[in-house]
Structure 1
Amino acid sequence: MSNSVLAIGGHIGDMDLTAGPTLAKLVLEGASATIVALTPGERGHPRLSPAEYKKQKIAEGTAFAEAIGADFQVLDNSDGFLPDTDDVALQLARIIREKQPDTIITHWKHSIHRDHEHTAVLAERARFLAGLPVVPEDDFAAMSPYPELAAKLAELPRHGVRSFLHAENWEDMEGFTPSLYVPIPEEAFYRWVSAIRHQAFARGETYGFRYIDYYTALMTTRGCLASYPRACAFHTNQSPEVTKLAGP
């Protein structure tokens, strides 16, 4: 079982929907979980201004994390314009060193949304940077185009992430092949449902997509394949299996 997991999404709500049931399950089993959004997702409302929706999204993301027992952080990048650059990767690498996760969950690398694709690239880059043997007295910071961020990274011990998973997202399905199933018990499922229903976009109040219905049905479908009532699917480089995250 994973003792610590870091879920990295392009926007607030991405990992809440796709990895949220798994995070709720792991927290109930005693693990620590952190959700990081690389942008607030502030441009996703047809009626609210980006400034108004940013405030709402941060409140919703904070409440969701608290409800399932996870930590929450959001970086100040612009929705729709997330760059896959080393300044963002260094910020994320510092979070990896702070949280010391056994597992990272993020987007699949192909998506209809460029922010999602960039998030997958950034998560991989941050994983690499977090594991580098960087110390304050070497010249890493001086060589970096972002010396202050590099210096902050060097303040923390290096960390290697053991497991890297891509969550199943309806916007990221090009080439996505499930290769690992995480069974979701009743308590974790209902904790997730209770938390996610307080996010306006998840209820379909922005553009009408029925996110909660979709991901609930998807868990049932994946559960059929995993021989459990419900399951979440992830992509790894392994052969298909029912993950050890299932617990006893």
Structure 2
Amino acid sequence: MAKTILAIGAHVGDMELTVGGTLATCALEGGRIVTLALTAGEKGVPAGRDIAEYRQQKCAEARAFAEKLGGEAHVLDYPDGLLADDDAARFAVCDVIRAVKPDVILTHHAESMHKDHAACHRIVHDAWFYAATPGFERADKAHFARLYFAENWEDATGYRPYLYAQVSGEGFALWQEAVQTHWFVTGSTSFPYYEYYSHLKRLRGIEARKGYAETFMVLPEEQRQIRAL
């Protein structure tokens, strides 16, 4: 069944890198893809460039990636590095969840070396609760979605793969093309993003006995399997 997936990252590029294969595979199977970045990630500006100008570029890159998957992209106005960990942010995300009505929400794992990633996790977790609770009256009606946490090299502390999601060969190829719309993926010298995530998707695929895969954690209370031995 075709799904609607809402991928929520702290910065433009976070979800495109970490869960882009899942998004591309879903899109090719007829699903709907929506990305939401809480900040543009503009503080990673190339040397000599204007931050405000780079923010505009990042927002355009988010749209370009989503468009290649036939989806849509949204970027909130919070400044990179200063993501507000408050209820205003939570209700802003809640409103997007209720408007998009996803089947699945993908976001950051709880622990991270980056403060925005950790804040994003807390914001999305609470927004997920607000969105699903009818008692919180907003413009759109309450909506429940399943919540999963992505694998990210910056969010490695405490991360343990639980769910392996197969990425099709066609989905992997589409992701490789689409993710190159982001300058930092191919142009940054601080970390080999494109190479790392390409190899990680192959490595997780090998572990899953598939060509390519991406892994996710679930909430602690959902870490159970019910099946016959």
* Shorter-chain TM-score tier: over 0.9
Say what the alpha-carbon RMSD is for the aligned residues: 1.6
- Which 4+ runs in 1 deviate beyond 6 A? none
Matches within 5 A, 1:113-152: 113-134=114-135
For residues 74 and 26 of structure 1, do their structure 2 counterparts lie closer, same or farther at Cα, with a shift above 3 Å needed?
same
**Structure 2 match to 1:59:** 60
Q: Distance in 1 between matches of 2:155 and 2:2?
A: 25
Q: Distance in 2 between matches of 1:185 and 1:78?
A: 35
Matches within 5 A, 1:219-230: 219-230=201-212
* Secondary structure of 1:219's aligned partner: helix
Percent pairwise identity: 40
Output the amino acid matched with 2:206: C
* Cα deviation, residue 36, structure 1: 0.1
Q: Does 1:158 align with 2:145?
A: no
* Secondary structure of 1:21's aligned partner: helix
* Greater gyration radius: 1
**Structure 2 match to 1:190:** 173
For residues 217 and 117 of structure 1, do their structure 2 counterparts lie closer, same or farther at Cα, with a shift above 3 Å needed?
same
Structure 1: gaps of 5 or more residues = 135-139, 141-152, 242-248
**Structure 2 match to 1:147:** none
| CA contact 1:40–1:57 (8 Å) conserved in 2 | yes
**Structure 2 match to 1:233:** 215
Structure 2: gaps of 5 or more residues = none
Output the amino acid matched with 1:160: F
* Cα deviation, residue 10, structure 1: 0.2
**Structure 2 match to 1:215:** 197
Q: TM-score, normalised by structure 2?
A: 0.93
Output the amino acid matched with 1:36: L
**Structure 2 match to 1:109:** 110
| CA contact 1:8–1:36 (8 Å) conserved in 2 | yes
* Secondary structure of 1:208's aligned partner: coil
Q: Distance in 2 between matches of 1:196 and 1:165?
A: 21
Alignment: residue pair count: 222
**Structure 1 match to 2:44:** 44
| CA contact 2:166–2:212 (8 Å) conserved in 1 | yes
